[in-house]
Amino acid sequence: RKAASVYDYIIVGSGPGGATVATRLALNNFSVLLIEAGPDYDGGDTRTPGFWAQTQLNLPITINFYPYLYSKENGTTILYPRGMILGGSAQLNALVAMTVNPSEWDNIAAITGDSNWSSQNMIGKYQPFVENCQYCLNNDTDKNKNGWADISAPAYRKPSSQLNITNPAINTLFEAINERLNYNPNVNENKSYDSWFYLPQSINQDEGIRSSTYKRIKSVQSLRPSNFHIWTNTFVTKLIIDPTTKNTCGVQYVKGSNLYKASPLASPSLNIKNVKKSVIYAKREIIVSGGQWLSPQLLQLSGIGDRTLLEKLGIPVIQDLPGVGKNQQEHSEISYIVKLKTNENIYESNNSNCIFNKTSNDPCLIDYLNNPTASIYSSNLNIFSIFRSAEPIVPNFPDSIFLFVPQRFTGIRTNWLQTMAQYPFGTYLTVDIELGRNKNNLGNVYIQSTNPFDTPLIEMKHFQDENGPVEVNQFIQHIRFLRDLFTNSQFSKYVDYEDLPGSQFQTDEQLSAFIYEYVWGHHACCTNKMGNTETDPLAVVNSKAQVKGINNLRICDISIFPVIPGYYPMVPIFMAAEKIADDIIIAAKG
Ligand SMILES: Cc1cc2nc3c(=O)[nH]c(=O)nc-3n(C[C@H](O)[C@H](O)[C@H](O)COP(=O)(O)OP(=O)(O)OC[C@H]3O[C@@H](n4cnc5c(N)ncnc54)[C@H](O)[C@@H]3O)c2cc1C
């Protein structure tokens, strides 16, 4: 090891994976350096739940990728934002905070042979970060939570006050749903088929603000100022690995903001050759937590990856790991939208003119500032959600989750916020349908140059595996279910017309064409998959998140899941990172 080593651990990236591991290690009195490419930022937009989408207009904290929806040959790309900020994408995300089905943990235990991934053990990992018991699990013994993250339904729509809503349109919508599906009071405990529920969200109930990774990092820093160090605006460009011993001892980095070319503020000509590079060392381990695309990118740049790819780019191969950048999975999403009749605003009428503008006279913002725990902006705007399965039913899981939002939301795509702003809030109703049980793992991410500031080639491969037609058919069945709901219920009197797909799309063939055009997603994962590194040639990390064939190097983020977790990944990442932190601490102390 180098004499200049000062930290026990260096963690690259501060999202749900990196923040959890870094804070756990710091609280255990190890000296920790957390390196984050983005800035130390905590503003009204990242705090206010209702402004989650508007954070994407905050250019210094957002990076925009343009992956291929299907394949490079097909050529269709889609806007895909992520966070580059202290706290990671969890500072910008839509706040949905859902656990996975217990059998998903058991599957990881079976794949890896590590019983610590079993649901019995992993359910205990939910408790450390849950602060209140609104979404406790039944077997939680400690009902006086003292965690750091609130998981709550918006205060003004607490399960206890269900159906206590004054707006007649919204009330009728609830009644129509209630006739078809059962109410599910705690979806984090019970993922039963065909139920409706209030979406658990990462919102601090007492303050009405995002319960954030940023706040967690800052509070641990104030508790451990001498051993927890944070460098923001610092981009790690390479891992320092001895090619002979395969020991990882440090990272190369470049100081500066908006260096990565996915940033709208980056210089397109920036090249690693022309900037000052420095190196910092760790005594124990490096933990890579850059997320689903930057983590495999950093490995590939450092000589860990598919030999053919690395040799083509002239990168010396330290470890031939063909699984790096493969196995990418995604939840496919589609919007179903109805236009409401004039003056039949779906939201509480006194708040109908929300304009999502923090600098102007936005009545909803004024309302929120006066009443932060009980206004529209105190939530992510979701009215309620449902689980529903189409035929054929996938064993153990509802195949889809639907989110009902009072806006014209066609999915995250180029200029989506500007387009949505043209339609007054509450005058359209969108049902965002997300398929949660895909098995398609054909997506991939590969670097295309040795310049670490360049973005990689990303292919999502929606519907490209043999299960693709089944998924498209699930969407078609869900669209028909919603058509029935909006035509054959009391709520139909509030509906003007179907906006998306629109009445011209009727046959399976027509609806399929619509689905191919409008599919999107925002949970890409699994690009450094965990597995049995002895038997699975595509496994990148073992059950303790250690990179195969390399010493002192782990990965802790969304990229290590072998199968896309649950319906929303943030809470499963927190839970997985708690388990990995245990592994690291046990190894260090043992
Ligand atoms: C718009 C949007 C909405 C979403 N909504 C939800 C939701 O409602 N619920 C949910 O569960 N999930 C949601 N997600 C997904 C969820 O937020 C992410 O899956 C999760 O944050 C991933 O965590 P992570 O730790 O793997 O990586 P990230 O959160 O992406 O964090 C990675 C961090 O590493 C930093 N980094 C990367 N490379 C380097 C480097 N070389 N040097 C230094 N720093 C580096 C990045 O800047 C970033 O801050 C959403 C995501 C987005 C963008």
The atom number, within ligand 1, closest to the CA of 88 reads 49
Q: Annotated binding residue at 94?
A: yes
Among 1-10, 117-126, 210-219, 468-477, the minimum mean pLDDT is found in 1-10
Indicate the top mutation candidate among 21, 58, 570 to test ligand 1's pocket, ranked by most ligand atoms within 8 A of CB. Answer: 570
> Would you say residue 1 has pLDDT above 60?
no
Q: What is the spatial distance between Cα 25 and Cα 7, in angstroms, rounded to a whole number?
A: 11
Residue whose Cα lies nearest atom 38 of ligand 1: it is: 290
* pLDDT greater than 50 at residue 219: yes
pLDDT in tens, 511-546: 999 999 999 999 999 999 999 999 999 999 999 999
Q: Which atom of ligand 1 is nearest to the CA of 201?
A: 8
323-375 pLDDT tens trace: 999 999 999 999 999 999 876 666 654 445 788 887 778 888 988 898 888 88
11, 79, 93: residue to mutate for ligand 1 pocket, most atoms within 8 A of CB: 93
**Sign for the pseudo-dihedral over CA of 190, 137, 117, 217:** positive
Residue 442 annotated as lining a ligand binding site: no
CA distance 347 to 383: 9
Q: How many angstroms does the Cα of residue 82 sit away from the middle of ligand 1?
A: 6
Residues of the chain with CATH 3.50.50.60: 7-64+81-97+212-296+542-589
Phi and psi, residue 35, nearest 5°? -105, 130
- Is the ipTM value over 0.90, yes or no? yes
Report CA(488)–ligand 1 centroid distance (Å). 41
**Residue with CA closest to ligand 1 atom 53:** 82
CATH value of 159-197+333-346+383-437+466-518 in 3.30.410.40, 3.30.750.24, 3.40.50.620, 1.20.140.10: 3.30.410.40
Q: How far is the CA of 292 from the centre of ligand 1 (A)?
A: 8
Query: Are 98 and 200 a contacting pair, CB within 8 Å?
Result: yes
Which atom belonging to ligand 1 lies closest to the Cα atom of 557? Answer: 26
Looking at ligand 1, which atom is closest to the CA of residue 573?
A: 23
DSSP H or E run through 7: strand 7-12
> Looking at domain 7-64+81-97+212-296+542-589, which of 3.20.20.80, 3.30.70.1230, 3.40.50.10860, 3.50.50.60 is its CATH number?
3.50.50.60
Answer positive or negative: Cα dihedral of 341, 347, 93, 197. negative
State the Cα–Cα distance between residues 261 and 365, nearest whole angstrom.
Answer: 33
Which residues contact ligand 1 via a Cβ below 6 A? 12-18, 35-38, 81-85, 88-90, 92-96, 235-236, 289-291, 294, 298, 522-523, 557-558, 568-570, 573
pLDDT in tens, 27-76: 999 999 999 999 999 999 999 999 999 999 999 999 999 999 999 999 99
Dihedral sign, CA of 168, 171, 175, 177? positive
Centre of ligand 1 to C-alpha 280, Å, is 24
* Ligand 1 center from residue 537 Cα (angstroms): 27
Bridge partner residues of 340 (DSSP): 495
Is 0.90 topped by the overall pTM? Answer: yes
Nearest protein CA to atom 48 of ligand 1, as residue:
88
What's the Cα-to-Cα distance from 172 to each of 358, 387, 407, 484, 491, rounded to whole Å? Answer: 32, 19, 18, 15, 6
Please state which of the ranges 7-11, 210-214, 282-286 shows the lowest mean pLDDT.
Answer: 210-214
**41-to-59, 251, 487 alpha-carbon distances in Å:** 12, 24, 46
334: enclosing H helix or E strand: strand 333-340
Whole-angstrom CA distances from 518 to 409, 412, 482 are 11, 10, 17
Distance 36 CA to ligand 1 centre (A): 12
Residue nearest to atom 50 of ligand 1 (CA): 93
* Ligand 1 atom nearest to 87, measured from its CA: 49
> What pLDDT score was predicted for residue 458?
98
**Ligand 1 atom at minimum distance from 35 CA:** 43
∠ at Cα 484 (434, 197), nearest 5°? 45
Helices and strands (H, E) in the chain, number of each type: 13, 22
Does residue 562 have a cis peptide bond before it, meaning omega lies within 30 degrees of 0?
no
| Block residue for tokens 């939840």 | 331
